[in-house]
């Protein structure tokens, strides 16, 4: 801009100067020519009068150096010439000025020399006798004039040019200066040209718009990040070159990212076969999922291609930690297998006995023994099915069940009352001690819990043994203790007795009709009530199980 302004100013200045010089020279030249012309006419007139009066005698006393004087007769014959002898000159009849003078009395013509440096003006006047007198004066041409004034003009022009260039440079800088100093961050605070005000207003409004939009984008991004970072699932978005666009906190944790991997290749984080395969499938435009293992935890990775306007533009990865779910699934499968097995065993016995009976292969008198066996096995199955139903009810979730205030002490007494006959049969004394302790919970489930503990304590006891149920309310917790002095649990089994179908002594268990589900039910019920279980047991000395409910 400065350059352009400079150029136009200096061009204008130079142009103006040259025009002025040209005009001045032109005007001066015209004036000079006009003067000369007038002078020449006066001289012609004088000479004509002289010749008219004195004839040839006039020339003799004439002393003219600057001009050439020629006297031509009416027929064109040269009578006299002061520069060349008259005889050597040809007939002048055809000359423009002579012809003109012969006709109108006066004639004039200008002839340029070859170089334009000189021109000759001819003025002719008809004398009364019909002859013509001609004066020719040579004068400098325009170029000669220019050559004379060339140096002064050059000096003036150069000086003017230098001056105008300097001024132009300063001026252009001065003009541009306020523009350069515009504060575009605060367009409206600028003072200066009114001409740029609309531009500044426009900039201001656009800046406002940009601020608004970037604020909105920022907020959107923050919202997105807040949402995704609070997700349990890992979310990774990749562009079409598998570069990470965004990755939430869970994904960073699951992929063990140790820094900011945004903009890097996902393979830098995870180059497992599963990942390579998923990316390849997604690139082909198909969604896929794989389960991979990393550091002992299992993750399910779902890859879905992202299309924008029909073109593949990236991949969305969803990573879920499925360790627990897979484990639960495995447990469930094991449970199903166990249940089938447990159900099958008594059925085999029943079926075998029944077969013998129906075939009549049983000795008379032994039928009672066989039917008894069928009965006990059937009973065992009923127990088992009951337990399984109970357990699956627990599995179905306690959320739907009604929670109420339950007095553990009263409940324990109720259960003890129910078990009194069984205890008596097993020759075990059963007692309930302690005082009131109210917890909020599911009555039926708590009942099951105490019943199972009680039943175990009686079952795995010896004649003459005792079972003490104690209920205590402490500051923040209620403790329910079922202690027996029975056979106890060997130390190596203690950690496993809460597993489903786990039994310490399978033969004995069968004898007492256990299903291996009792403690597992207890554990589940305790879990539902956020209670924790403590177990203390010594083989041959007895077992104490304490369930501690938070209040």
Partner 1 sequence: MRSRFDDQLDVLNTAMITMGSLCEQAIATAAKALAEGNAHLAKEVADLSEQIDQKEREIEGMCLKLLLQQQPVAKDLCTISSALKMITDMERIGDQADDIAEIVSMDHLRPMDETEDIREMARAAIRMVTQSVDAFVKKDLEIAHGVIADDDFVDQCFDRVKDTLIQRFSMPEYDGEITLDLLMIAKYFERIGDHATNIAEWVIFSITGNREGN
- Residues of this chain that bind partner 1 (CB under 8 A): 241-242, 265, 267-268, 271-273, 276
Minimum CB distance to partner 1, residue 243 (Å): 8
Residues sharing a CB contact under 8 Å with residue 261, sequence separation 6 or more, in sequence order:
244, 247, 252, 268, 269
Minimum CB distance to partner 1, residue 271 (Å): 4
Minimum CB distance to partner 1, residue 337 (Å): 24
Residue number, 301 or 423, with CB nearest to partner 1: 301
What token pair was written down for 148?
Answer: 């004379």
CB crowding 438-463: b at 16 or more within 10 Å, else e: ebebbeebbbbbbbbbbbbbbbbbee
Residue number, 269 or 454, with CB nearest to partner 1: 269
Helix (H, G, I), strand (E, B) or coil at 503: coil
The DSSP element (H or E) to which 309 belongs, if any, is none
β-pair partners for 67: 137
Minimum CB distance to partner 1, residue 300 (Å): 20
What token pair was written down for 140?
Answer: 């400098």
Residue number, 169 or 272, with CB nearest to partner 1: 272
Minimum CB distance to partner 1, residue 235 (Å): 22
Residue number, 271 or 348, with CB nearest to partner 1: 271
Minimum CB distance to partner 1, residue 293 (Å): 12
Residue 7 to residues 10, 17, 165, 378, 550: CA-CA distances in angstroms?
5, 15, 9, 115, 92
Minimum CB distance to partner 1, residue 239 (Å): 12
- Considering Cα of 298, then 304, then 306, then 311, what sign does the dihedral take? positive
Contact (CB, 8 A) for 122 and 139: no
Minimum CB distance to partner 1, residue 318 (Å): 21
Residue number, 272 or 376, with CB nearest to partner 1: 272
In this structure, the number of other CB atoms found within 10 A of the CB of residue 232 comes to: 7
Minimum CB distance to partner 1, residue 276 (Å): 6
Residue number, 259 or 364, with CB nearest to partner 1: 259
| Cα separation, 69 vs 299, whole angstroms | 126
Residue number, 23 or 268, with CB nearest to partner 1: 268
Contact (CB, 8 A) for 516 and 500: yes
Long-range contacts of 459-464 (CB under 8 A, 24+ apart): 459/426, 459/512, 459/513, 459/514, 460/484, 460/486, 460/487, 460/508, 460/512, 460/543, 461/426, 461/428, 461/485, 461/486, 461/487, 462/486, 462/487, 463/426, 463/427, 463/428, 464/427, 464/428
The string of DSSP letters for 320-360 reads EE-HHHHHHHHHHHHHHHHHHHHHHHHHHHHHHHHHHHHHT
What is the residue whose two structure tokens read 């541009």? 176
Minimum CB distance to partner 1, residue 258 (Å): 8
Minimum CB distance to partner 1, residue 265 (Å): 5
Residue number, 246 or 272, with CB nearest to partner 1: 272
Nearest to 391 by CA among 508, 519, 268: 519
Task: Give the distance, in angstroms, between the CA of residue 111 and the centroid of all CA atoms in the same chain.
Answer: 86
């Amino acid at each position: 801009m400065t350059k352009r302004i400079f150029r136009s100013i200096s061009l204008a200045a130079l142009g103006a100067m040259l025009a002025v010089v040209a005009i001045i020279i032109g005007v001066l030249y015209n004036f000079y020519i006009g003067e000369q012309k007038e002078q020449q006419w006066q001289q012609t007139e004088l000479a004509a009068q002289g010749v008219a009066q004195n004839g040839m005698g006039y020339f003799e006393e004439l002393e003219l150096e600057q001009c050439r004087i020629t006297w031509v007769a009416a027929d064109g014959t040269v009578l006299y010439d002061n520069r060349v002898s008259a005889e050597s000159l040809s007939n002048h009849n055809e000359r423009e000025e002579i012809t003109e003078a012969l006709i109108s009395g006066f004639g004039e013509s200008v002839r340029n020399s070859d170089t334009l440096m000189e021109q000759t003006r001819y003025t002719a006047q008809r004398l009364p006798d019909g002859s013509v007198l001609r004066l020719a004066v040579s004068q400098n041409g325009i170029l000669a004039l220019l050559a004379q004034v060339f140096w002064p003009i050059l000096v003036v022009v150069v000086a003017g040019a230098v001056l105008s260039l300097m001024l132009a440079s300063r001026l252009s800088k001065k003009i541009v200066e306020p523009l350069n100093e515009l504060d575009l961050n605060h367009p409206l605070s600028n003072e200066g040209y009114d001409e740029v005000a609309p531009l500044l207003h426009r900039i201001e409004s656009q800046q406002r718009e940009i601020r608004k939009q970037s604020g909105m984008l920022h907020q959107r991004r923050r919202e997105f990040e807040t949402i995704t970072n609070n997700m349990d699932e890992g979310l990774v978005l990749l562009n079409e070159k598998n570069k990470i666009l965004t990755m939430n906190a869970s994904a960073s944790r699951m992929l063990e990212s140790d820094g900011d991997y945004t903009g890097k290749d996902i393979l830098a984080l995870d180059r497992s076969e599963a990942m390579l395969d998923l990316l390849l499938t997604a690139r082909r435009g198909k969604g896929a999922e794989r389960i991979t293992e990393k550091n002992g935890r299992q993750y399910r990775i779902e890859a879905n291609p992202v299309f924008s306007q029909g073109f593949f533009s990236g991949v969305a990865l969803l990573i879920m930690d499925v360790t627990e779910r897979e484990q639960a699934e495995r447990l469930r499968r094991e449970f199903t297998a166990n249940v089938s097995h447990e159900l099958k065993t008594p059925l085999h016995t029943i079926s075998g006995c029944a077969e013998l009976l129906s075939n009549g292969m049983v000795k008379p008198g032994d039928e009672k023994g066989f039917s008894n066996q069928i009965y006990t096995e059937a009973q065992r199955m009923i127990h088992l099915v009951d337990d399984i139903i109970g357990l699956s009810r627990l599995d179905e979730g306690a959320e739907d069940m009604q929670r109420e205030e339950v007095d553990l002490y009263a409940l324990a007494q109720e259960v003890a009352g129910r078990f009194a006959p069984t205890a008596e049969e097993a020759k075990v004394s059963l007692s309930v001690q302690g005082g009131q302790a109210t917890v909020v919970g599911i009555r039926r489930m708590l009942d099951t819990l105490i019943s199972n503990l009680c039943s175990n304590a009686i079952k795995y006891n010896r004649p003459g043994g005792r079972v003490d149920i104690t209920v205590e309310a402490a500051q923040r917790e209620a403790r329910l203790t079922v202690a027996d002095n029975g056979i106890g649990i060997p130390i190596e089994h203690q950690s496993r007795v809460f597993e489903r179908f786990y039994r310490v002594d399978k033969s004995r268990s069968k004898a007492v009709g256990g299903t291996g589900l009792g403690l597992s039910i207890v554990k589940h019920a305790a879990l539902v009530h956020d209670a924790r279980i403590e177990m203390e047991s010594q083989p041959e000395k007895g077992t104490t199980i304490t369930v501690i409910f938070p209040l």
